[in-house]
Amino acid sequence: KKIIGVNVLFTCLLCAYIIFGAYVFIYLESSYEQIFREQLISTKINCVNLLLEKYRTNNADKNLAHSIVNECVIDKLKSQKWTFLTTALYSFGIITTLGYGKIEPLTTSGKVFAVIYGFIGIPVTVILFTNFGRWIQTFLQYVEMKIHKKNEISSLSATTLILIVVIYLIIGGAIFSYLCGNFDFLSGIYWVFLCFTAIEYGQLIPKNHFYLPIALGYICIGLAISTIALDIGSAYVRKLHFIGQKLRDIANVKIWFGSKHLKVRELVNAVGQNIGIEPSLMHNIDLDSLISVAIKVKEGKLSKVPQSQCICDGIWPPELVPLFIKDGAFPIFVDSEKESPKLRMRYSVEGLPTSLGLNFVFRNRAALYEGKDKQRTDFSKVIPICPHNFHQNLEAVFSDRISPFSYHISE
């Protein structure tokens, strides 16, 4: 309801803006139009009188000439151009960039106001019609998903868009050839195409003003469809622009979620924090390479994303991490309640002084494991321990906590 209310409010404001522009143009142009029309009538009458005097026609011919001038010239000049309807259509033509070629301001103040009016109104109109186009695009995507029986909504294809535009032009040609009555079906398609491509729309205004809302509604739908075409076209422009270029600075790319956005790095850090990984460790991930590999997986060029990071349960020396990856599993603790089908615990540690015993090691969750090669880990070879402070060093190395450890495998 809130979304509908906001869109209705913007539409009402746009209509009010068009009405405001219409009255301002009438105020600025109507007085000058009256003076200009009187001067033009006087000029044409003087021109006719000069012709009659030059050829020395009789009174009957003069009366006939004046009658023709009054009927065909003067009466047409007396009709006002800057009426509310024509100025509203002219205002609509400015903010939609369609143009209404039947009238144009002649005064300096009218021309300046037209520039300011368009400078303010065009961006707002573009935003409104783009939003309307997004609604149409979402509806068409939903229809396409139902027709093809897909589980998720995909982007609108170029083929579907071309089909929609063709249908739009055919319907418009049929409608306006009937409403306007001064051109045939093919000419109607021509004028509709000019309107759709934002060239000119004056010929699509029906003489019967009762049909005017139908014409303007049809034009607005066409403008919304044109924004969809620009949106789809921009995707092809991106593909063309990045052909042969390496992906760079992926971490700072913005991802939009509705009206909000996050950078890729911010999203990755949030995911890491959600599962208990510090941002400093997530920062070590090469997002440029990761995204490139993920795209290849999606395109079917790779079966899966190769593992380049390792997060270990417990505190492990870096020298042991390659063994974990080679064995395909991590060590288990001697007091762990979970059983592993690949590993079995061994209650012995080689190289440690036997006089110290193993109870201290077990209480601090020292990890012992035997991999596929059945070689026991010798902690005395990877952890230098001095006899006089053995307890402090062992306590520092094997504290009773879980800590993630990131290890990068170079290719």
pLDDT reading at 263 higher than 80: yes
User: Are the folds of 1-135 and 155-245 the same?
Assistant: yes
Length of the chain: 411
**What is d(CA 92, CA 156) in angstroms, rounded to the nearest whole number?**
29
The CATH class for the domain spanning 155-245 reads mainly alpha
Q: What is residue 270's DSSP assignment? A: H
**What is d(CA 98, CA 85) in angstroms, rounded to the nearest whole number?**
16
Structure confidence by residue, pLDDT tens digits, 279-290: 777 777 878 888
Structure confidence by residue, pLDDT tens digits, 116-155: 999 999 999 988 888 888 888 888 877 777 777 776 666 7
Domain residues of the chain, as ranges?
1-135, 155-245, 258-298, 318-397
pTM for the whole structure: 0.58
SS3 of residue 385 by DSSP: coil
* pLDDT given at position 112: 93
**What is d(CA 13, CA 274) in angstroms, rounded to the nearest whole number?**
44
* pLDDT given at position 337: 58
Burial 200-224 (b: 16+ CB within 10 A, else e): bbbbbbbeeeebbeebbebbbbbbb
* pLDDT given at position 315: 57
**What is d(CA 398, CA 377) in angstroms, rounded to the nearest whole number?**
15
Q: What is residue 83's DSSP assignment? A: -
**What is d(CA 194, CA 36) in angstroms, rounded to the nearest whole number?**
32
H/E stretch holding 257: strand 254-257
Confirm if 81 and 103 have CB atoms less than 8 A apart: yes
CATH fold of 1-135 reads Helix Hairpins (1.10.287)
Closest by Cα among 67, 80, 71 to 38: 80
Closest by Cα among 25, 11, 10, 12 to 91: 25
Structure confidence by residue, pLDDT tens digits, 35-75: 777 777 677 767 766 766 666 666 666 666 666 666 666 55
Kindly report the CA angle at 181 between 177 and 186, in degrees rounded to 5? 35
What is the average pLDDT value for the chain, to the nearest integer? 72
Strand partners, 257: 260
